[in-house]
Structure 1
Amino acid sequence: MVESGVAAPANIDRAIKTAYGHAMGPLEWLDLVGLDTQQRLCRTFHEITNDPELACPKLVHVMVAAGWLGKKTGSGFYDYADTKTFGA
């Protein structure tokens, strides 16, 4: 949804947390785990299953290549130096 410009990360996370009562939204979780880690997981699952739904989104590849790995680098879907979000 972020990649296609449908919604900003904060809106996606807020919707999931509100609808499902989760403590973290999916993009907050990705920033915590690390986008590089998610990229490797997607690659592995996709290679095993050949399921296109499990392929890593292009945006994650772009962010990893740019060094935006999440909290460990200070930026990912969220900028941890301040409250700005990617794609907002």
Structure 2
Amino acid sequence: VRVNEAPGGIVSRILSAMRNAAVDILAEGVASAEDIDTAMKLGAGLPIGPLELIDLVGVDIHVINSDNLCRELGDLKYRPHALLRKMVRAGYLGRKSGRGFYDYTK
């Protein structure tokens, strides 16, 4: 794929915005993490839901990447939700810590 030089490239920018929107929906109480991920898998044909993807990548890594995109592009749609920062402070980093949006200790 040919792409002009730009911060974040194509995939990272699209996925970051999608993952942040999923966290917004969760934080607003519109749907549960499971329902958000299921909706995106069934409705958009994704192999993994956006919140599952954050857990896989690491909540802390997602926050760092989103902060970088927000700063480099000057676009608040990439700013990570405050819920993500709370999760990082609590040690809920996703699969690598055993807990994120889902509990992996079971």
Return the TM-score normalized by structure 2. 0.75
**What's the counterpart of residue 8 of structure 1?**
32
**What's the counterpart of residue 59 of structure 1?**
83
Q: CA deviation at 1:22?
A: 1.3
Amino acid at match of 1:78: Y
Question: Residue 69 of structure 2: which of 33, 41, 45 is its match?
Answer: 45
CA distance in 2 between counterparts of 1:7 and 1:20 reads: 16
Output one character per residue of 1:51-84: Cα deviation in whole Å (capped at 9) or x when no partner: 11111111111101110000000000001123xx
Greater than 4 Å deviation, 4+ residue runs: none
Which structure has more relative contact order (CA 8 Å, sep 6+)? It is 1
Unaligned residue ranges in structure 1 (runs of 5+)? 83-88
Instruction: Give aligned pairs, total.
Output: 82
SS in 1 for 2:87: helix
SS in 2 for 1:72: helix
SS in 2 for 1:2: helix
SS in 1 for 2:43: helix
**What's the counterpart of residue 96 of structure 2?**
72
Rg larger for? 2
Unaligned residue ranges in structure 2 (runs of 5+)? 1-24
Return the TM-score normalized by structure 1. 0.89
**What's the counterpart of residue 45 of structure 2?**
21
More helix by share: 2
